[in-house]
């Protein structure tokens, strides 16, 4: 390969994820593929005739979101990746290399998709058990939990790209020591993150037509890292009986590069054994989980980053295929660009928890930061950074990061 790629880069030749970027502040948004420290400008590549049908692809890649491109279907989106890979693997540096490549570190990343709908699941048995224990020590998992992937419809309008500041929300909370049935209006005092992965829908099902669990992969375009910011005190007071609302819908952050499902195939693994055996429509064949290492860090703005958790998507009890099959089994139709998030991904050990609610045991156990301060929940100015990557002896496919700073 004529382009040198740092050995530990998330954006190896095996990855080739799609995103929307501006090469500089005054440039117009365009689609790109990340490779090492560079981005292949897909508008420039289309103009250079790399994909044929110059005018058609130039227009598609100038859209400002990837929805229209994704809607062309996997035969097209995968062909574009193959063409870019072949171009990168030419024996000699092509003459158009300079005009097609941008500096990734200087690029401004934008929201890669327009999100018509966002759904959040609750698919980690460790997370559901940890949180359930705080409310029901003897019976942490509700009776439905092992039968279906519990989920709710979230808010699409407040999904933002990595790097966007998140404003601390205000709302109704119960002050500690106060009347347990009388709230006050206050800025949230229990701001949290949730370590999640989300998948992007690439193909639509007609209303009334479920997606079978073994066909789910055809409908999933790719994956992103996902931080489902949560105001625990607002959530605790409001969630009965209809579930999350204002404690969640003020912001969720996504990583800017969508890693195509095809790039993650080598990292498929079997999920945890499901007991009881799921109902027929949720019974998937073969390996349906992914082994993707995940990390959470907090940057307080002083001192170095604090690595506070390491988890893995392989722990998820309900697979993405099962989530999608369940979401549509009643005939609900998904749309291109929809985001379906996993729910907080906690692992089995104390150092693999996916939220501060769990790490601080509901605020009881402060955690030391390397600037000398402590945290139970987030403080203004804290930047939360989620990272994820899959790796085996020969390939590394990563997501980069999703970060966001909590501001007053």
Binding footprint of Ca ion on the chain (CB under 5 A) = 120, 194, 228
Q: Which is nearer to Ca ion, 194 or 217 (CB)?
A: 194
Give the shortest CB-252-to-Ca ion separation in angstroms.
Answer: 8
| Residue 91: count of CB within 10 angstroms of its CB | 7
Give the shortest CB-346-to-Ca ion separation in angstroms.
Answer: 11
Q: Which is nearer to Ca ion, 155 or 314 (CB)?
A: 155
Q: Cis link prior to 241 (omega < 30° from 0)?
A: yes
**Residue among 116, 196, 191 at smallest CA distance from 159:** 116
φ, ψ of residue 108 in degrees (nearest 5): -105, 120
Residue 101 φ/ψ region, left for φ over 0, alpha for ψ in the -120 to 50 degree band, beta for the rest: beta
Give the shortest CB-127-to-Ca ion separation in angstroms.
Answer: 9
Residue 14 tokens read as 């095996």
Give the shortest CB-196-to-Ca ion separation in angstroms.
Answer: 6
Give the shortest CB-393-to-Ca ion separation in angstroms.
Answer: 33
For residues 19 and 386, give the distance between their C-alpha atoms in angstroms, rounded to a whole number.
Answer: 18
Q: Which is nearer to Ca ion, 228 or 299 (CB)?
A: 228
Give the shortest CB-360-to-Ca ion separation in angstroms.
Answer: 17
Residue nearest to Ca ion (CB): 228
Q: Which is nearer to Ca ion, 41 or 194 (CB)?
A: 194
Q: Name the residues annotated as catalytic.
A: 127
Q: Which is nearer to Ca ion, 9 or 346 (CB)?
A: 346
Q: Which is nearer to Ca ion, 80 or 386 (CB)?
A: 386
Q: Which is nearer to Ca ion, 120 or 401 (CB)?
A: 120
Give the shortest CB-355-to-Ca ion separation in angstroms.
Answer: 8
For residues 144 and 163, give the distance between their C-alpha atoms in angstroms, rounded to a whole number.
Answer: 37
Q: Which is nearer to Ca ion, 205 or 230 (CB)?
A: 230
Residue 372 tokens read as 């000398």
Give the shortest CB-226-to-Ca ion separation in angstroms.
Answer: 8
């Amino acid at each position: 390969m004529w382009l040198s790629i740092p050995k530990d880069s998330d954006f190896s030749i095996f990855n080739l994820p799609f995103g929307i970027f501006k090469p500089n502040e005054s440039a117009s948004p365009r689609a790109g593929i990340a490779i090492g420290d560079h981005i292949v400008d897909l508008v420039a590549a289309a103009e250079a005739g790399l994909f044929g049908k110059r005018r058609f692809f130039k227009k598609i890649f100038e859209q400002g979101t990837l929805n229209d491109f994704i809607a062309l279907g996997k035969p097209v989106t995968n062909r574009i990746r193959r063409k870019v890979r072949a171009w990168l693997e030419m024996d000699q540096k092509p003459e158009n290399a300079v005009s097609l490549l941008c500096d990734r570190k200087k690029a401004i990343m934008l929201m890669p998709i327009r999100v018509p709908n966002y759904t959040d699941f609750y698919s980690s048995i460790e997370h559901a058990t940890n949180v359930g224990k705080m409310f029901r020590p003897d019976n942490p998992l509700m009776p439905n939990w092992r039968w279906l992937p519990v989920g709710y419809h979230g808010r699409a309008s407040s999904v933002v790209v990595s790097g966007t500041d998140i404003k601390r929300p205000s709302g109704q909370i119960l002050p500690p020591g106060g009347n347990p049935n009388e709230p006050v209006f206050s800025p949230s005092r229990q701001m949290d993150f949730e370590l999640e992965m989300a998948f992007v829908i690439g193909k639509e099902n007609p209303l009334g037509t479920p997606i079978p669990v073994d066909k789910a992969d055809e409908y999933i375009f790719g994956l992103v890292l996902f931080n489902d910011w949560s105001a625990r005190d607002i959530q605790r007071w409001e969630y009965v009986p209809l579930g999350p609302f204002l404690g969640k819908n003020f912001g969720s952050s996504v990583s800017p590069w969508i890693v195509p499902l095809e790039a993650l195939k080598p990292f498929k693994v079997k999920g945890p054994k499901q007991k009881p055996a799921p109902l027929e429509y949720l019974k998937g064949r073969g390996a349906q989980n992914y082994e993707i290492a995940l990390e959470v860090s907090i940057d307080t703005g002083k001192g170095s980053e604090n690595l506070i958790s390491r988890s893995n998507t392989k722990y998820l009890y309900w697979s993405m295929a099962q989530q999608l099959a369940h979401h549509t089994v009643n005939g609900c139709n998904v749309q291109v660009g929809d985001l379906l998030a996993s729910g907080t991904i906690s692992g089995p050990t104390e150092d693999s928890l996916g939220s501060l609610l769990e790490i601080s045991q509901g605020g009881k156990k402060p955690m030391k930061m390397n600037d000398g301060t402590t945290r139970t929940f987030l403080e203004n100015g804290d930047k939360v950074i989620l990272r994820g990557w899959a790796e085996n002896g020969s390939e590394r496919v990563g997501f980069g990061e999703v970060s966001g700073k909590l501001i007053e």
